[in-house]
Amino acid sequence: MREYLLVFAVAAAVTFLTTPVARWIAFRIGAVAWPRARDVHATPTPRLGGLAMLAGLYAGLEVADRLPFLSVVSQDWSETRAVLVAGTLICLLGVADDRWELDSLTKLAGQVAAAGVMVLLGVQWSFAIDRDSQTTISFGPETAVPLSILATLILVNAMNFIDGLDGLAAGVAAIAAGATFYFAYQIAVINGFYRASPAALLAAVTAGVCVGFLPHNFNPARLFMGDSGSMLIGLLSAASMISVTGQVAYGGYAGPSRQLPSLIPLAIPLAVLAVPVLDFGLAVIRRTKAGRSPFAADKMHLHHRILSIGNSHVRAVLLMYFWAALVGFGGVAASFSDSPLPILAATVGVGLLALVALLLTGQRAARRA
């Protein structure tokens, strides 16, 4: 555990220290977000936060490769190399978009290429559970490759879609990475696996780069992560999720919640990243029904709606943090509980109470206005 904490700290420190450099580069090359009708910021703000996050990723994995306990991850598995190569590609794609605002098809093609590289280099959703026999099914490449690429594309764009308020995407991704780390580490502890795993390492690094970037990005932001950052943390989130839910042989899962083992590989990624995935799904449905491209920007995301009922920028972000932590850690805790249903019911109940409180607060604010 101490080596994981060291990797987290190094990734956070390097990201924090290199963010001013990324800000300077953004101004030099003109990668600046000018206020638009759908934006909530009022002053021109530089992008390219992804460059600092990429530096933190490289530093964290380099330190891990030199530690006695975690060095076996790069020696025995290919995930870290795959993430470094694919992460660099998708960050460079984001840099181009932050500077020149690429069209949606070009950006999607680049995302598919980066996701394909990561998957072909070893990050693949390789196992699932047979619901009837509770045995492990091994996917062939004809299934594992497209399934893994699709999962990566969904998470990349989900993170991109929620990056609409200062500090929102970085905070939600950090919370999701924390929940993923907890799940991956507990899987190893309960099943007696070696505790150095690609999923836990990638989750620790992802949390580190997000936490290191957050002081520069929280309201009022001095730098936006831009697409270079949001797509990078989406890819990192996908890599850690696929590693823990797709490559662990769940037929041997020894967690207490034996009545729900077939649901765990699907439920955990949905729970941990429920907020961005839900926002992504609603956006795609909303835009498609209106006859528009799913990637056409609008001002109807969940965080925009929270703002519209009278909440401040910071309160809206903190509420999204709360829901991400509630659903993510609640889902993971339920998967390791002897009685998962009460935990799930409590999670839903607290979430509904928070929603009612939010609506009542918004109504009072509207009446005062």
**Residue 338 among known ligand-binding residues:** no
CA distance between the termini of the chain? 50
* Structural contact between residues 317 and 323, judged by C-beta atoms closer than 8 angstroms: no
Positive/negative CA dihedral, 348, 354, 356, 362: negative
Q: Which residues of 62-101 are buried (b: 16+ CB within 10 A; e: fewer)?
A: bbbbebeebeebbeebebbebbbebbbbbbbbbbbbbbee
The tokens describing 236, both together, are 């990192």
What lies within 8 Å, CB to CB, of 338 at 6+ separation is 256, 257
**Residue 227 among known ligand-binding residues:** yes
Nearest Cα to 149, choosing from 58, 238, 76, 68? Answer: 238
* Structural contact between residues 253 and 264, judged by C-beta atoms closer than 8 angstroms: yes
Annotated binding site for Mg(2+): 160, 227
Annotated binding site: 160, 227
